[in-house]
Structure 1
Amino acid sequence: MTPDPPIPEDGSSITAEWVRRALAAGGGRVAPPSDIRVEEVGVGAGVMGQVMRCHLEYAEADDPAPESIIVKLPSVTARNRRMGKRLALYRREYDFYRSLASQFPVRTPRLLYGDFESRSHRFVLVLEDIRGMGVVDQITGASPAQARQAIRALARMHGTYWNRTHEPVMSGTYDSTNPKMRPVVQIVFLTNLVRTLKYFGDSFTSTTRQHAEDFGLCVIDHMAALGDGPRTFTHGDYRLDNLFFADGDGDDLTVIDWQVSGLSCGLYDVGYFLVGNLTIPVRRRIEREAVEEYHDIVCRAGATDFTFNECWRLYRQNTLAALLTSVIVCGGLDLDDDRSRRLAEIGLKRSLAAMEDLDVEEFISPRNRGLFANACRIAYRANWLLQGAP
């Protein structure tokens, strides 16, 4: 039996011998590579981890030997690694590929090898390299046809697991609305809202700023509401940078990057995608039709007692997912790369526009007036003064 190779620190630790051991430990029956060239491909696309494409050469190659593979590792940035561990991001992706990916209703890269250290949350994933499919620039935004294709794929995924999250196949899957995590997420949001206002304050109007601050004091209520509604398996970061579109008119789509996956309301993914990945005019034009198509597919897949009015209300409520993520990205992560910063700023502007368009005020009135809510309010104001936010 081939011993598992050590988890690399970064791309410089990935050698031909390491790949040979990883593929053998993963059960692969291919010729060992004789040489390797490592290319970093995650810059500007995934700030929570390192993504490398490894180009392989063989002295004697078998037909199934891959020309290239993808290797994923934790972020090189200490702050991002801490957030990855705090929110169990690396464990979630590892668990998805180990437990669900092989029987998933939507295409994902094939897992060739994986390892995870439960104490440190260091991990490595060796994945199939998706070639011959196109990626749409998230900054440019999806076309109406691409957006509907992505929503149909979501509906197939969500419909498969709709209100089946208690079944054995989902055992151990991360609960994205876990009551224990709700206070943590609220604190993380409020902390990063201060920095977001400091560095991206021009993106806010007085109204959207007030809405964002009000939402920060009721994130717990928001997550509780999602936990009480219909539940399914969600991607959590369903955006164009994580989607590969096949050429032609079919629905072939490959979805990558499952770090934020878990059990939640399916409309979380829908709201997050339509708000963050379409230009504001395109989103305004097609969002209702896209949600109607989503509703039709999940109902045909088995969602019962789920009216379109309820679906639309959940969509409006879950557009706040885009704001939640945008604030954490803008305020909590290192955005040294120009594209990462531009992507974060555009995502923030799109989420703020959706807040105004979809009248989300009814969902952001804090119900909890207890000690924790008051402590959060005081801590937010104190942090606001210390940071010198506007």
Structure 2
Amino acid sequence: FSPAAASRAPPPPLSHLSPLSLSSPSRPPSRRTSAPLPSPLPSSLVQPSLSPSLSLSSPLSLAPSLPRSLAPFLSLSLPPSLSLSLSTMTTEISRATDPQAQPLPAEGEAQEGPALEMAEQPPSVKLAKSVTVDAPGEPTVLSLSEVQLGRKTTARSNMSRNSQISRPEGYVPVGQRPSVRLIHSSHHITAEWLTEVYHMRGFLEEGGKVTSCNVKPLGEGEGVMGVLAICTVELENAKPHAPKQFVAKFSPIKTSMPSMLVRAIFGAEAHWYNDMYEEEQGLGRPAAFFVGAKLFHKRWWKRKPVFCMLVEMMPKPLYSRTSGCDNLQHLRLVMQSLASFHARWWNAEKKPPLEWVSSPGRDYFGIMKNALIFAVKKGFPALKTAWGDAYDPVLQMKPLIMQKLKWYMGAVFADPLTLCHGDVHLDNIFFDESFPMGLKMIDFGNIQIAQAGFDVAYFLGQNVEPELRRTCEAELMSIYHETLVRDGVQNYSLEDCWRSYRLNLFRVLINVMYVSYDQFAKDAKKKRGIYADKLSHSDVKLKETYDATNRRMCQALVDAKFDELLRTEGKTMHSVCRALPCCA
């Protein structure tokens, strides 16, 4: 691309160009949606000071990786004499039906008419890897513009567009009464109730109905973190895209969790499924066609919040936390997906559309840091009680960790922060070539604003065998950093990636410490659960999972030389209240 050449070769009149639109196939662009930041495009295309029309030589590559979320906001205008070829993962492309369509109205003009209708119902292309224009000889002009609210705009930063993000069709805020009655458990799923839901979502033609439904509980039904069931339905007079099998997820009716914690965990997942389109979130996830919640009851001291989510059925997982992942290509794909997700929400703040998300380092004036300090103090002895000598190398670091703990809590929540999944393990990741991003993730109850290294440490520290991790860790971190930079993150070096990863490995261990003193250490003393003389099938699976993840987690901290990081960077800091269990 040559800005100088662009100035020498003025573009031909728009009336001589036949439009070709690139757009997401899932839905037409919303009038409320602002254009995502096209970071993978050459900077010369998005700098406001340059002309939007550039002179191209033959042949020419337009962009190495056009993100699918960017597609609805690009319009390529080419003379009829040119040929356009696309190298894509999956491609659907056709020319606009009306070659005489007028340009979109400028700001202040009427936003009605055939031009706007054409923009809202464009032809489509999925995830173009490259676009090549073959000119017949002399330099040719390609016009590229972004459209938002029917007018041309310049590129926006990630956070400036978040407040204008579009809401899904039929959006109802979490906690408000949906048009269909909210049910409390899988026992209340009936064909009649599902018929109402399917009509609300437009899955049925007039007179259509759900004729039968089969509900099969997952696991043992009532679980600490929710009730899951697989639902299989038979339909009459349904549209082709109506789901015939899905997962129903409910918050637990009987649980020892405080209502505030139920509301926070299930509310976060409900917001993530309900408030935005998947392509605007930057991370593949199942589609949810019903999200209902009752956050408060009149007798709030007796009844817990209620959440009901009907979610797309995922394929069988290829891996588990117990087995680990030994496929390098899939490891690369996870790291690329996490990097794109983190870049999408880089420097995220707790404001719309993320006003509901947890920010442990800043919520309630940072009091959550004290909760983590309490977990560390209680967790060290619990690790020994619950897991024996599995964490002996880490327990040897205890004096140094306790000495630097207050410094650590400041460092691990220092900027830059982003949105993190918070629970990136193999039981929550589903791989499939048909997915637009190659994978989808579930279980967003722990989504939070944190350092990007938290998700990276969670995945590499607990899901990859130490021998394999040592051989590919450097490559995976390089891929992760390259994707961050490609997707627009600036002033964040590969060394910064490594430091955040090393810091957050211990933060992942704090999660293990919490469940160790809150559950497993108590079970070990009373010889119950996974410590009982006779184990149930679910207890055997749980024990195998923790045996595998504990071994990997301990070795990851040792390999990352976490103690060396504390010695070289950590400062000895004490509070005046350091004798209290929640202070360092």
Distance 1:83 1:185 in 2: 20
User: Aligned to 1:29, which of 185, 203, 211?
Assistant: 203
1:359 matched to 2:543? The reply is no
Corresponding position of 2:385: 198
Distance 1:12 1:314 in 2: 45
Corresponding position of 2:578: 373
Give yes or no for contact 1:182–1:219 (8 Å, CA) kept in 2.
Answer: no
Following TM superposition, by how much is the alpha carbon of 1:367 offset from its aligned partner in structure 2, in angstroms? 4.1
User: Aligned to 2:417, which of 231, 234, 237?
Assistant: 231
Distance 2:263 2:412 in 1: 18
One-letter identity of the residue aligned with 1:375: L
1:64 matched to 2:250? The reply is no
Question: Tell me, what secondary structure is at the counterpart of 2:291?
Answer: strand
Following TM superposition, by how much is the alpha carbon of 1:312 offset from its aligned partner in structure 2, in angstroms? 1.0
Equivalent positions of 1:252-291 (< 5 A) are: 252-291=438-477
Question: Tell me, what secondary structure is at the counterpart of 2:339?
Answer: helix
Q: More displaced, 240-249 or 163-172? A: 163-172
1:292 matched to 2:478? The reply is yes
**Equivalent pairs: percent with the same residue?**
21
Count of residue pairs brought into register by the alignment? 373
Give yes or no for contact 1:42–1:49 (8 Å, CA) kept in 2.
Answer: no
User: Aligned to 2:320, which of 125, 137, 143?
Assistant: 137
Distance 1:37 1:164 in 2: 42
| Cα distance, 1:377–1:254 mapped onto 2, change above 3 Å | closer
- RMSD, matched Cα: 3.2
Corresponding position of 2:98: none
Give yes or no for contact 1:177–1:227 (8 Å, CA) kept in 2.
Answer: yes
Deviations 1:342-376 (A, max 9, x none): 21232122111111111111348674422443211
| Cα distance, 1:196–1:19 mapped onto 2, change above 3 Å | farther
Distance 1:11 1:190 in 2: 40
Corresponding position of 2:429: 243
| Cα distance, 1:229–1:3 mapped onto 2, change above 3 Å | closer
Q: Report which of the two has the higher share of helix.
A: 1
Give yes or no for contact 1:330–1:345 (8 Å, CA) kept in 2.
Answer: no
Distance 1:216 1:96 in 2: 36
User: Aligned to 1:174, which of 358, 366, 372?
Assistant: 358
Q: More displaced, 360-369 or 139-148? A: 360-369
One-letter identity of the residue aligned with 2:318: V
Higher relative contact order (CA 8 A, sep 6+): 1
Distance 1:249 1:34 in 2: 30
Corresponding position of 1:162: 346
Unmatched tracts of structure 1, length 5 or more: 381-390
Equivalent positions of 1:29-48 (< 5 A) are: 29-30=203-204, 31-41=208-218, 48=225
Give yes or no for contact 2:263–2:295 (8 Å, CA) kept in 1.
Answer: no
TM-score (normalizing by structure 1): 0.84
Question: Tell me, what secondary structure is at the counterpart of 2:553?
Answer: helix
Question: Tell me, what secondary structure is at the counterpart of 1:123?
Answer: strand
Distance 1:219 1:127 in 2: 41
Corresponding position of 1:88: 264
Give yes or no for contact 2:321–2:548 (8 Å, CA) kept in 1.
Answer: no
Unmatched tracts of structure 2, length 5 or more: 1-176, 297-303, 521-528, 531-537
Question: Tell me, what secondary structure is at the counterpart of 1:88?
Answer: helix
Q: Report which of the two has the higher share of strand.
A: 2
User: Aligned to 2:336, which of 129, 133, 152?
Assistant: 152
